[in-house]
Amino acid sequence: MPELTFAVRWPDGRQTSHYSPSLVIHDFLTVGARYPVSDFVGRTSEALAIASERVHAKYGFACTSAMQSEQAIAQEAQSYPAGEVEIVAIQPGLDGSPA
């Protein structure tokens, strides 16, 4: 199963990187796009739940790394009652190259 990381810039300019066990993130986020914090949390929560379920379907157990990413994003988002999150990078890109 392909693995993916995505880097984001929070409203205060701080960058964080997160892990997904699936390329499904590409269905929910676009490099260069900006999402209101609450929308970003919702998108990543849904995408990471799907990614974890794909791992479960293939290997018989949920992906704890996807759940950790989801928790880290939710915790970080609590610091930002307003503002936007920018998607800095998603690697690999859909064509397998860095995006």
Supply 59's token pair: 């290997």
> What is the side-by-side order of every strand in the sheet holding 84-91?
15-20, 4-9, 84-91, 34-36
Q: What is the pLDDT of residues 9-46, one digit of tens each?
A: 999 999 999 999 888 999 999 999 999 999 999 999 99
Q: What is the pLDDT of residues 87-97, one digit of tens each?
A: 999 997 766 55
pLDDT at 61 over 90: no
Percent of the chain having pLDDT more than 90?
Answer: 67
